[in-house]
Amino acid sequence: MKAKLILMATGLLSTAMFWNCQNKGITNATPSQNTTGPVLPEKPYDYPNGDDNKATLGRVLFYDKNLSINNGVSCGSCHKQENAFCDNMQFSTGTHQRLTDRNTPSIFSKVGRMFWDGRAGNSADLALGPVKNPVEMDFSDLPALCSRLSSLDYYPLLFKNAFGTSRIDSSRIREALAAFVNNFTFSDTKFNKSKSGKAVLTAQENQGKDLFFGQALCAQCHHIDDNGSTGNGYGVADTDANIGLDATYKDQGRGKLTGNSSDNGKFMVPVLLNVEHTAPYMHDGRFKTLEEVVEHYNSKIQNHPNLDFRLRDFNGQPKKLNLTDSDKAALVAFLKTLSDNKIFTDQRFSDPFAN
Ligand code: HEC
Ligand code: HEC
């Protein structure tokens, strides 16, 4: 059994900040703010990618509500381990009870673009984004964030272990968060195991697999079999596409970012790892079930000018897959072989404040 080192927070300054924020009219601090420090193993866990001490600090930051302006929200409030690192809501509630305008995706270490509109180049670029985002954590005053963290007695040692000195600055916060996020490489799925003979797909799952890689063209965009740079079988998602959800999109996705109408309605191709557990689906969480997703591709694609060529027939019209009920059920069964249930229990990713 691993000895635990219990680090206690003073919590004093964060309480002061909370009152301060209240005076500014921000009243939504929840009663569930962190009051004690994290419980950590004496020797850092072994993380698959990179520096264990940085990842350990990143884990604490990820779950620390002190990173939000009113101490009410952490990254883990929306990216919940029990929900495969999303939250099963169409939109998520951030600081000040505001709703996000897009569905919370799961977290998966990947090189290449992230977010529904593909804006972040890598996890280091994105890590402070949610902290500063007014809907998510609303802490844009980074020097104030650093001084708040400096006042919590568990951070100096964690920063020292990670960086050699206990100085807290925003680039270190970003680097540590990124180091943690870079370890989300779950890929011990039934599908991956079947490739090395460690699991056997059922006849129905095999039928779905043949459709996924064949007639239904799913693998043309969702490269679940690509070892890419991460080597875990979910290598490439570095592309976006318009899949004809609507003839006119309310959220233009990549088009909103680039201002280029040929990008309208284009969204990042999401990783399908654990997709069984990440409902609801799509950038706006419009589909509650995988059956609805499959029916979209089967018969409901809309003729948007930017609709991807792979989803058009020879006449340029939205493609109809004409799947039978058995085909549709098989595709769903196959999608469920892409789950790695260790994501729910792996201590290295759990909330250290929850013990
Ligand atoms: C209020 C809910 C909320 C909080 C808090 C939050 N996120 Fe997110 N996260 C989202 C939403 C929504 C998106 C998708 C946003 C978009 O694409 O426009 C997202 C996207 C991401 C992605 C990209 C995933 C992908 O595959 O593209 C990562 C990584 C991420 N968040 C990490 C974090 C980290 C680290 C923190 C804490 C510093 C955090 N999030 C805090 C809701 C949240
Ligand atoms: C042209 C590329 C393309 C093809 C082909 C394609 N997809 Fe997608 N898929 C996407 C994009 C892009 C999204 C996100 C769209 C959005 O949110 O607006 C997506 C979203 C999804 C989602 C939702 C994931 C989530 O986390 O919300 C599932 C499930 C899915 N696709 C399964 C499939 C299946 C099954 C097939 C084959 C029948 C398929 N896709 C074919 C590009 C594609």
Of the bound ligands, which one is closest to the alpha carbon of residue 78? Answer: 1
pLDDT of residue 205: 98
pLDDT of 14 over the 70 cut: no
| Residue type at position 352 | P
Higher-confidence residue: 213 or 4? 213
pLDDT of 240 over the 60 cut: yes
Q: Is 192 in the pocket of ligand 1 (CB under 6 A)?
A: no
Q: Is 130 in the pocket of ligand 1 (CB under 6 A)?
A: yes
Residue 106 CA: nearest ligand 2 atom is 26
Give every CB contact of residue 112 below 8 A, 6+ residues apart in sequence. 121, 122, 236, 237, 238
> Given ligand 1 and candidates 115, 139, 145, 275, which is best to mutate, with the most ligand atoms within 8 Å of its CB?
115
What would the mean pLDDT of 230-248 be, rounded to a whole number?
79
272, 224 Cβ separation under 8 angstroms: yes
Q: Is 278 in the pocket of ligand 1 (CB under 6 A)?
A: no
pLDDT of residue 246: 97
pLDDT of 10 over the 60 cut: no
pLDDT of 290 over the 90 cut: yes
Rounded to the nearest integer, the mean pLDDT of the chain is 84
pLDDT of residue 223: 86
Whole-number Å distance between alpha carbons of 96 and 122: 28
What would the mean pLDDT of 311-327 be, rounded to a whole number?
97
154, 37 Cβ separation under 8 angstroms: yes
Whole-number Å distance between alpha carbons of 305 and 56: 46
What would the mean pLDDT of 11-21 be, rounded to a whole number?
27
Residue 119 CA: nearest ligand 1 atom is 17
pLDDT of residue 15: 28
Angle at CA 127, nearest 5°, toward 95 and 60?
75
What is the whole-number distance in angstroms between the Cα of residue 104 and the centre of ligand 1? 6
Higher-confidence residue: 241 or 138? 241
Question: Rg of the chain's alpha carbons, rounded to an integer?
Answer: 22
Whole-number Å distance between alpha carbons of 4 and 190: 34
222, 215 Cβ separation under 8 angstroms: no
Whole-number Å distance between alpha carbons of 148 and 43: 26
Give every CB contact of residue 342 below 8 A, 6+ residues apart in sequence. 186, 188
Angle at CA 321, nearest 5°, toward 319 and 324?
160
Residue 278 Cα distances to 231, 249, 272, angstroms:
22, 23, 9
What is the whole-number distance in angstroms between the Cα of residue 151 and the centre of ligand 2? 45
> pLDDT tens digits for 21-80?
222 223 333 444 566 789 999 999 999 887 999 999 999 999 999 999 888 899 999 999
pLDDT of 300 over the 80 cut: yes
Higher-confidence residue: 305 or 134? 305
Tokens of 104: 């919370």
Q: Is 102 in the pocket of ligand 1 (CB under 6 A)?
A: yes
Q: Which of 108-117, 142-151, 320-329 has the lowest mean pLDDT?
A: 108-117
Whole-number Å distance between alpha carbons of 151 and 262: 49
Q: Which of 56-70, 205-219, 228-242, 263-277 has the lowest mean pLDDT?
A: 228-242
What is the whole-number distance in angstroms between the Cα of residue 244 and the centre of ligand 2? 10
What is the whole-number distance in angstroms between the Cα of residue 62 and the centre of ligand 1? 11
Which among 157, 153, 160 is positioned nearest to 8, based on CA atoms? 153
What are the φ and ψ backbone dihedral angles of 218, each rounded to 5 degrees? -55, -45
Q: How confident is the model at residue 245 (pLDDT cuts 50, 70, 90)?
A: very high
Higher-confidence residue: 46 or 186? 46
